[in-house]
Structure 1
Amino acid sequence: MAGKGYYFWENNYERALDFANNPPGKTKSTKPSVLGAVIDLQSCLDFLDTDYLRLVQYSYQSLELIASKFELELPVNRSGKGTKDLVLRNLDCAVIEHLHSIQQASKFRPFGSARGVFVEGAELYPGAGFHEKNHVQICIRNPNCIK
């Protein structure tokens, strides 16, 4: 999970509908639906860019230091019902939210969106690097990004 916001699956209607029908850790909707949108990513925290990945790593190290100092436990990413995939991304969400708070405290421009690749599901064939539920997920934090 890329933090708090509105979630989109880039160019993948079927994966979005699958998520709506089978939300990890949440109650199923009685009438799941998928909406399309035109999105301007604006100041995007892009998990496909090395510089942003370093920021995420720094955020984790900072969060870990704070947790250690105050003897707190960090959240943990967990698998969902019926899957080994870590789809309940409590740690990832905490790290990203911490990064947003660092940005705000430092008076840097806030990220309006976050975008990354998520590898999920069974291998398409033995030894494959491709999985049945791979997707690019976009989290919109600033609703003005949705056109």
Structure 2
Amino acid sequence: MYQQLPSFVLGFHGCDRKIGEAVLAGEHVAQSVNDYDWLGEGAYFWENSPERALSYAQHIKKHSGRGKGAIKRPFVVGAVIDLGLCLNLTDEGALDELRAAYDILVATSEDIPLNTPGFNGDQDNLKRKLDCAVFQTLHQARVAVGLPDYASIRSPFLEGPDLYPGTSFRKQTHVQICIRDMSCIKGYFLPRNADGSLFQL
């Protein structure tokens, strides 16, 4: 597999303004360690979509029971990311590796977790305990056979209602990046609009 992705990508993280300003002042985006994080443990970003990051933060503000911390003032911080050794789930070989990790999980665990709804009306099963366990198994299996750790994971995520009747396109589909090695993040910035104005004030 061509696992080294050589170019920089821009990632966007939705959060509370206080957290975003702390990141811009020198802190890192926190790594998430929930047992339902769909790509496993790491710092999460939306690829090339500050709009999606903002809508996520606005959703968390509206539904305060979701997310690890309350968001009072939705905010977006951008990051320049070198994906390094990346488990890129648009690649057939990466998907084969993920399936093999699932097989290992089934063979070695008595209780297999499930993906379940995160809230009433959630049709996307956003509590991804099964997926998280599969990714953690994948990383453990690589360590066991002496393979290098993945620095990042990149995957499309189909989310939301159908965009229009008869299609498989979904309203909130996006590409998400999970950063496991924080040295992949080369810097943070305030996003801007196409005309050069700040994305948010």
TM-score (norm 1): 0.91
Please name the residue that 1:79 is paired with: 117
Q: Which has the larger radius of gyration?
A: 2
Spell out, residue by residue over 1:20-53, the C-alpha distance to the aligned partner (whole angstroms, 9 max, x if none): 2335842542233211111000000011111111
**Aligned-partner residue type, residue 76 of structure 1:** L
Q: State the alpha-carbon separation in 1 of the partners of residues 183 and 153 from structure 2.
A: 14
**SS at 1:38 equivalent:** strand
**SS at 2:82 equivalent:** coil
**Aligned-partner residue type, residue 78 of structure 1:** T
**Contact 1:25/1:88 (<8 A) preserved:** no
Q: State the alpha-carbon separation in 1 of the partners of residues 124 and 59 from structure 2.
A: 14
Please name the residue that 2:84 is paired with: 42
Q: Which structure dedicates a bigger proportion of its chain to helix? A: 1
Among candidates 103, 106, 109, match of residue 61 of structure 1: 103
Please name the residue that 2:29 is paired with: none
- Detail structure 1 runs of 4+ shifted over 4 Å in the superposition: none
Say what the alpha-carbon RMSD is for the aligned residues. 1.5
Q: Say yes or no: does 1:12 pair with 2:58.
A: no
- For residue 83 of structure 1, report the CA deviation from its aligned partner: 2.1
**Contact 1:2/1:114 (<8 A) preserved:** yes
**Aligned residue pairs: how many?**
143
5 Å-filtered alignment, 1:115-126, equals 115-126=154-165
Q: State the alpha-carbon separation in 1 of the partners of residues 169 and 105 from structure 2.
A: 32
Query: Structure 1 residues 14-23 or 122-131, which shifts more?
Result: 14-23
- Identical positions, percent: 42
Gaps of 5+ in 2: 1-37, 187-201
Q: State the alpha-carbon separation in 2 of the partners of residues 93 and 25 from structure 1.
A: 18
TM-score (norm 2): 0.67
**Aligned-partner residue type, residue 182 of structure 2:** P
Query: Structure 1 residues 102-111 or 135-144, which shifts more?
Result: 102-111
Query: Structure 1 residues 57-66 or 84-93, which shifts more?
Result: 84-93
